[in-house]
Amino acid sequence: MSEEINNNTAAEQTEPAAEKIDASETAAKVAQLDLDSDEDVFDNMQFPEPDYSAPPAVEFHGVVKSYYLYKSEKSRFKAMFTGNRGVPQHDVLDGLDFTIYPGESVGFIGRNGAGKSTILKLITGVSFPTSGEITVRGKVAALLELTAGFTQDMTGRENIYTKCLLLGLSETEIREIEEDIIEFAELEEYIDQPVRTYSSGMRMRLGFSININIKPEILVIDEALSVGDARFRKKCRNAILQLIHSGVTVLFVSHSTDALTGTCNRAIYLKDGKVHFDGSVVEALDMYNADVEEIRKRIREKRRAKKRKAKQRLKQLKEQQEKEKK
């Protein structure tokens, strides 16, 4: 299945896009891009060609992820001593298969609870599969919980070193990117102050800056483009664009159509714990929106049916009362 999907994806990448600018022209533009400028080259961009000859960056083979469904905290506590015996399970991912190659920018689409964020957690090692095999090749930076891992009483600079060490960087590597992190986060005046004195926006900027500057090979993003004000959000988007054109593999979860079409050249539509569609972003969004509209239509029909039943019941009650009066 994975081989067939990727061959199709590769074929799609070779199709000419008349309405988009040339890829080499975009790459040159990106290389000269000022991150603080108002220019946004996400519009009409042409993605670079992924390296399909290289070993896959991410592989999922028959991956299942199940969660126990506890009725209450009491039942959760009881299950600690019974080994979860008799506790029902829900499969968020049910035998998932897909392959992602270096340089691809892949968006994950699906309804809430479809398993999008679960996939990102499995890739980053935050969570583990119930069964199946996951292979990840390369250094991973995760824009999930941007402020996770910060120690409130430590300064911003100390947190940079702590978080980068946890991400596997040496002190020499950290020193090389330290000033870049501080400059990108725009925290020059506050970097030696305790993080507990930072606003939530300042903490998120620092978390984003650390992950974007560690030179990842795989970048995982979960609705993280809403960092700071409009100017800083554009700066973050442009930084991600630079990573895309440097060959970084990007995995992106979002409910924003504009963000998905502007960031991804491939989309995986998840439904009922499986890959329902794997291909172009536009086709995936069309399929997803059609399914959502069908669900809304069924919900509206159920509501109308309930109203009709309620009116019919009320009519029967009135007729019965009139008969009793007579």
* Segments making up each domain of the chain, as ranges: 2-278
Q: How far apart are CA 145 and CA 80, in angstroms?
A: 28
Q: How far apart are CA 61 and CA 131, in angstroms?
A: 9
Q: How far apart are CA 9 and CA 17, in angstroms?
A: 15
Give pLDDT, residue 34. Answer: 53
- Identify whether the C-beta of residue 201 lies closer than 8 Å to the C-beta of residue 193: no
Give pLDDT, residue 278. Answer: 94
Q: Given CA atoms 162, 166, 171, 177 in this order, what sign does their dihedral have?
A: negative
Give pLDDT, residue 256. Answer: 81
pLDDT tens digits, the chain, 326 residues: what are they?
A: 433 334 343 444 434 333 333 444 544 544 455 555 555 544 445 677 888 889 999 999 999 999 989 888 888 888 888 888 888 888 899 999 999 999 999 999 998 888 898 999 899 888 899 999 999 998 888 877 777 778 899 999 999 999 899 888 899 999 999 999 999 999 989 999 999 999 888 888 898 899 889 888 999 988 655 566 778 888 888 888 888 888 899 999 888 888 888 888 899 999 988 999 999 999 999 999 998 888 888 888 888 888 888 888 888 888 888 777 76
Give pLDDT, residue 48. Answer: 75
State pLDDT tens for residues 264-281. Answer: 889 999 998 899 999 999
Q: Which residues pair with 139 in a beta bridge?
A: none
- Residue 68: HSE in the Cβ half-sphere, 13 Å Cα cutoff: 15
Give pLDDT, residue 15. Answer: 40
Six token digits for residue 51:
């390296």
Nearest to 242 by CA among 7, 4, 33, 73: 33
Q: Would you call 319 exposed, middle or buried from its count of C-beta atoms within 10 A (0-12, 13-18, 19+)?
A: exposed
State pLDDT tens for residues 146-176. Answer: 777 788 999 999 999 998 998 888 999 999 9
Say what the pTM is.
Answer: 0.73
CA angle 156, 126, 96 (to 5 degrees): 140
- CATH superfamily to which 2-278 belongs: P-loop containing nucleotide triphosphate hydrolases (3.40.50.300)
| Residue 162 Cα distances to 153, 169, 172, angstroms | 13, 10, 13
Nearest to 261 by CA among 282, 287, 233: 282
- Identify whether the C-beta of residue 213 lies closer than 8 Å to the C-beta of residue 177: yes
Residue with tokens 């995986």: 268
Residues 6+ apart with CB under 8 A from 239: 35, 184, 212
Give pLDDT, residue 215. Answer: 85
- Cα-Cα end-to-end distance for the chain: 73
CA angle 23, 28, 32 (to 5 degrees): 145
Residue with tokens 């979002």: 254
Give pLDDT, residue 36. Answer: 53
